[in-house]
Amino acid sequence: MPELCDIHTLACTQLFPFALKFCSGSALSMLRAAGPIFSEAIPESSPLWKELLQESSAWLHDSKTSLMHKAHRLSVAAERCRFDREDGSLQVPHPTPVNKSRRYRLIVTGARRSGISTLVRIMAGREELDNQGKDMSLVNFSADLDGQVLSISAVDKRSTAIVTPLSAALYNGHSAALFVFDAANADSLKTTACCIAELQQTVGPQKFRRMPKLLVCHKADVLPKVEDRLAELPAMCEALLSTYGMDLVFTTREDPSSIHLAVALAAEHWPEADPDDASRKFPAISRQQLRPTRTVVRRNTVVRRVADKKAAEEVVSKKLKAAAADALAIDGQALVQFVDPEGKIAGPQLDVPLGTSKDQLGTLLNQLLENSEEMPYSFHLEDTEITSNLAASFGKLSKGQQSTERVLNITYYPLAVFRVRPVTRCTSSLSGHIEAVLCVAFSPDSRQLATGSGDSTVRLWDLNTELPKHTCKGHLNWVLAVAWSPDGSRLTSAGMDKIVLVWCAQSGKNLGALRGHTQPVTCLCWQPLHVTEGDSFPFLATSSKDAAVRIWDTTAGTCVRSLTSHSQPVMQVRWSGERPDIGGVIYSAGRDCVVKVWNPKDGSMLSELKGHGHWVNTLALNTDYVLRSGPFTHEPQKFKDLAEKKEAAKKRYDEAIQLCGGERLLSGSDDFTLFLWRPVVSKTAVCRMTGHQKIVNQVAFSPDGRWFASASFDKSVRLWDGRTGKYVHAFRGHVGDVYQLAWSADSRLLVSVSKDSTAKCWDIGQRKLLEDLPGHADEVYVVDWSLDGSRVATGSKDRLLKIWRH
C-alpha cells in the first residue's frame, strides 16, 4: 500500500470509513493508540473524521472546532473512561462518599422530567432512586478517571424555583457542570435553563464563565441519525449553547458508555495529579482554566480559604507599592494646564512628571484652587479619562498629539464629596398591591415612598420600618404616575381615569380632585420651588392623551392654564427652573414628534424644537435631581416654613447650574435617536445621538449633569457625555427590554430594570456591572433611587415592591 499512495491520499478515500464500519465503538481509542504521527497525517478534510464520530458512543456538537478536533477530544475522553472491550460495557464505579476536600468536583443537574433520574441511575449503578415526593434529591458518588477518583454530585430538582436556600447550599463548591435535558420532552429544556441560571447566580457570573460545562441531551436514541439530531431540537437549545458557551453532548439509555464519556468530557482538563497528594501543585493550564476557590496548605493538610483578611491586606499593600514604583520609574516631563468644563483656566501652566498619579493631580488642583477642604475631582486628558497616572492617558493619545513640547489641557470635573454605596441585597419584599406596580417615587426628604398600581390604588410606605403606611383609594382605573411636591408635603397621582388626585403626604387623605382632561393623564410635573411667586404653593403641570397640557393650582383645585397646541397625545412634560421672571419654562412632547416650549405665566408658546422622526417617549433636564429634591440634600434637614425652603432650593439650584454649565434638555424617541437641546439659547439641537437599535424608552441625567444614560428596548443602557452628547459606553447584560433607569445621588452608580425580571447596578467610573439583582418573578417596570442614596425601590408585574440596600 505505501508503494501505491501516501497516507494523505489513503485517508481521503472511502477505504478507512468502510473498514471502520466493522470496528467496535473503540475506533477513536484505536486511532489514538496507533500513534500521533498517523492521526496527524490525516487532513481535516478527510471523511474519516465524520465516520469516526459516528462510531463513537457519544456525539459531541461543538460549532467552534472541526471534526478532527472533536474526534481527538472524544478519543482522550474514551481512554480516560477505561472501557472494558470484552463485553462492550463500561465498568460502573461503586458509590462512595464525596470527599469535600477535593479541589475538582462535578455536578450533574436537571429539573423535572429532564431525564436526569434515568441518567443518574445508570451512572451510580442503582436500579431506583429514593426521590419520590421530594422537591430536590442529591446523590453522591465517584467516577474512576485515569485511576483518579472524581467526586460527582447529582442534583435532581422537582421544582423550577430559582436559588432556594437548599439548592444554593448544594451548588456551592463545584468546579464543572453537566446540565441534562430529555430529547423526547421539549419542555424539559426550559426547566434545564432554570438550573443553568440557578447555578450561575449561586457561584457568581465570573466563576460560572470559567467553569467547564456541557449540555447533555439524554435519550438521544429517539432522534434521527447523528447529523440531523441538532436540527430536531428546539431553537432554545442553540440559544443556550451560544449564550453560555457550552458544548452539546448526545447520550443514550442503551449505551451507558456514552454517559460516562460525557462525564470524562466535563473533566477533560482535570489535572493528572490529585490535589491531595504530596505534590500539592496544580498544572499551570488547569489553574488558568478552573480557578479553584480553595487552596491546600501543607501544614496538617488543612484546606484554608484564600480570602484570609491578613493575606488580602498584604496583597493590596504590595500592589500599591508596585504601582508607586511603576510611577516613579516613568521618565519624562509634561507641560500641563488645568481647565474647567467650560474651558476656563485654573492656575498657571505646570511642568509635572509623566508618572504623576490621579491622586497627586487632585492634591495639586486643590492647592491651585485654594480649597479649604480637599475636594474630589475626575480628570480628562483630551477625551481620555485619567484613571491611574498621566503617562497611561498620554499613551492613548494619537501619535500627532503625543508631544511633551506642547501644553496638555487637563479638564477637571468636580465629584460629590460623599459616596453612595452600591445596593447589593433585597431588604424588604412588600406585598399589598393586587395588580402590577406601574409607578414608584421617593419623597424629597427620602422618608417616604409612593407607589401606584393597576389595582387603582396609591400606597404610601414608611421607609424607617419599610412597612405600609397609608392606602389611598379614589382612582377608578390604573394609576400611571405619581409625583411629590418639591417641599414633600403633597403627593399627586393620575392615570387612566383622566383625574388628578392630590394627597396629604402625612395623613394620606385626599385633598382634592383635579378634573378637566378628557383622556388618560400620562405625566405629572411640579413647578420648581424657587420660581414660585411670593408665598404661593407651586403649581402642577399635567400632560394627557387629549393633546393638552394643563397647569393646576392644587390649593384651590382649579385649572390655571390649558396649553393646547399639540396635534397628538402629549406623553411627557417637564418644568424648568430657568426664567424665574415668568415662573419657569414648561417643556412638553408627545406623538406629534415635536418638543414645545411654553411660558406658564401667560400660556403662550415660546418655541418648537423639531428633529425627531417618530413619537417622543421621554424628556429629561440636567437639573431634574435638584428640582425634584427642592431644599433637601443627602443629609437630614429641617426648615421652619415654606419661605425658608424656597431660599434653600434657590441656593441649591444656582450651585447646580454653575456645576453643570447651564440647563440642558434631553429627548428620546421611537426613532431610536436622542437629541440634546439648549432651548432657552437656541432652537437648534446641540447634538443628535444615534446608536440604539430599538426605541429609546427613558433618558436620565446624572445629578451633577456630568452624564446622561438612555434605556432602550435593544437590551442595552448607553452612557453619554452630559455637556456634548458624545457617546461614552454601552452597558450590556440585560437579556430583555430595558424599561427604566435611576441614578445614585453621587452620580457614580446607575441602576436599570428590565423585562428580564432583574435589576442591575452599574459602576460609571469603571464602566462595568457591579451587582446583578434578581428576585422579581416577572418583568420589572419601574425603579427609583432615594435622594439620600440609601435605598433603591423596584416595582414589578409580579405585584411586589422590593427595597434594595447595601
pLDDT category at 74 given cuts 50, 70, 90 is: low
Mean pLDDT over all residues of the chain? 76
The set of cell numbers assigned to 54 is: 459516528
What CATH number is given to the structural domain containing 182?
3.40.50.300
Does 224 share its domain with 335?
Answer: no
Q: What is the pLDDT at residue 7?
A: 46
Indicate whether 223 belongs to any domain: yes
Q: What is the pLDDT at residue 131?
A: 53
- As a whole number of angstroms, the distance between CA 641 and CA 34 comes to 93
Q: What is the CA radius of gyration of the chain?
A: 32
Residue 731, pLDDT above cutoff 90 = yes
Residues across the chain: 806
Determine which of 202-211, 353-362, 553-562 has the lowest per-residue pLDDT on average.
Answer: 202-211
Q: What is the pLDDT at residue 804?
A: 93
- As a whole number of angstroms, the distance between CA 734 and CA 279 comes to 44
Contact 105, 153 (CB under 8 A): yes
Does 35 share its domain with 160?
Answer: no
Indicate whether 197 belongs to any domain: yes
Does 79 share its domain with 111?
Answer: no
Strand order of the sheet with strand 510-514? 479-484, 490-495, 500-504, 510-514
Residue 595, pLDDT above cutoff 50 = yes
- With a CB cutoff of 8 Å and minimum separation 6, the contacts of 533 are 583
Using the 3D structure, point to which of 84, 118, 149 is the last residue of a domain.
Answer: 84
Which three-class secondary structure string do you get for 444-495? CCCCEEEEEECCCEEEEEECCCCEEEEEEECCCCCEEEEEECCCCCEEEEEE
Indicate whether 36 belongs to any domain: yes
Residue 403's alpha-carbon distances to 22, 395, 589, in angstroms, are 73, 10, 48
The set of cell numbers assigned to 154 is: 447529582
Does 73 share its domain with 114?
Answer: no
- As a whole number of angstroms, the distance between CA 456 and CA 476 comes to 6
Does 209 share its domain with 163?
Answer: yes
What would the mean pLDDT of 674-701 be, rounded to a whole number?
A: 91
Does 129 share its domain with 262?
Answer: yes
- With a CB cutoff of 8 Å and minimum separation 6, the contacts of 628 are 444, 484, 486, 787
What CATH number is given to the structural domain containing 390?
3.10.20.90
- As a whole number of angstroms, the distance between CA 421 and CA 768 comes to 15
Indicate whether 407 belongs to any domain: yes
Using the 3D structure, point to which of 414, 439, 469 is the last residue of a domain.
Answer: 414
- Most confident by average pLDDT, 44-58, 285-299, 413-427, 584-598: 584-598
SS3 625: helix
* Number of domains the chain contains: 3
Using the 3D structure, point to which of 414, 448, 469 is the last residue of a domain.
Answer: 414
Neighbour tally for 454: CB within 10 Å: 20
Indicate whether 58 belongs to any domain: yes
The set of cell numbers assigned to 106 is: 462535578
Does 108 share its domain with 177?
Answer: yes
Find the domain containing 366 and state its range.
319-414
Contact 646, 529 (CB under 8 A): yes
Identify which has the larger pLDDT, 127 or 335.
335
Q: What is the pLDDT at residue 94?
A: 42
pLDDT category at 636 given cuts 50, 70, 90 is: confident
Does 56 share its domain with 101?
Answer: no
Neighbour tally for 671: CB within 10 Å: 19
Segment 551-570, tens digit of pLDDT: 999 988 899 999 988 999 99
Q: What is the largest CA-CA distance in the chain?
A: 108
Beta strands in 369-432 (DSSP E): 377-381, 384-385, 407-414, 425-430
- With a CB cutoff of 8 Å and minimum separation 6, the contacts of 235 are none
The set of cell numbers assigned to 661 is: 454649565
Residue 256's alpha-carbon distances to 218, 506, 527, in angstroms, are 11, 70, 74
Q: What is the residue type of 449?
A: L
Does 177 share its domain with 214?
Answer: yes
The set of cell numbers assigned to 344 is: 476656563
pLDDT category at 313 given cuts 50, 70, 90 is: low
Residue 154, pLDDT above cutoff 90 = no
Does 341 share its domain with 390?
Answer: yes
Q: What is the pLDDT at residue 11?
A: 47
Nearest to 607 by CA among 522, 699, 685, 701: 685
Using alpha carbons only, give the angle 376, 748, 716 rounded to the nearest 5 degrees: 150
What would the mean pLDDT of 479-489 be, rounded to a whole number?
A: 92
The DSSP bridge pattern shows strands 294-296 and 407-414 to be: unpaired
pTM over 0.85: no
Helix or strand run (H / E) with residue 184: none
Helix or strand run (H / E) with residue 744: none
Does 329 share its domain with 382?
Answer: yes
Helix or strand run (H / E) with residue 299: none
pLDDT category at 280 given cuts 50, 70, 90 is: very low
Indicate whether 494 belongs to any domain: no
Indicate whether 764 belongs to any domain: no
Q: What is the pLDDT at residue 4?
A: 45
Contact 749, 743 (CB under 8 A): yes
Residue 78, pLDDT above cutoff 50 = yes
Segment 504-523, tens digit of pLDDT: 988 889 999 999 999 999 99
What's the distance, CA 621 to chain centroid?
Answer: 25
SS3 582: helix
Q: What is the pLDDT at residue 435?
A: 92
- Locus of grid cell 452599574: 762
Phi/psi for 170 (5° steps) reads: -75, -35
Indicate whether 18 belongs to any domain: yes
Contact 69, 92 (CB under 8 A): no
Q: What is the pLDDT at residue 396?
A: 79
pLDDT category at 50 given cuts 50, 70, 90 is: low
Segment 384-442, tens digit of pLDDT: 788 888 888 887 777 777 776 778 888 888 888 888 889 999 998 998 899 999 999 99
Using alpha carbons only, give the angle 151, 157, 158 rounded to the nearest 5 degrees: 155
What's the distance, CA 230 to chain centroid?
Answer: 31
pLDDT category at 51 given cuts 50, 70, 90 is: low
Does 176 share its domain with 80?
Answer: no
> For 461-602, where are the alpha helices, taking DSSP H only?
none
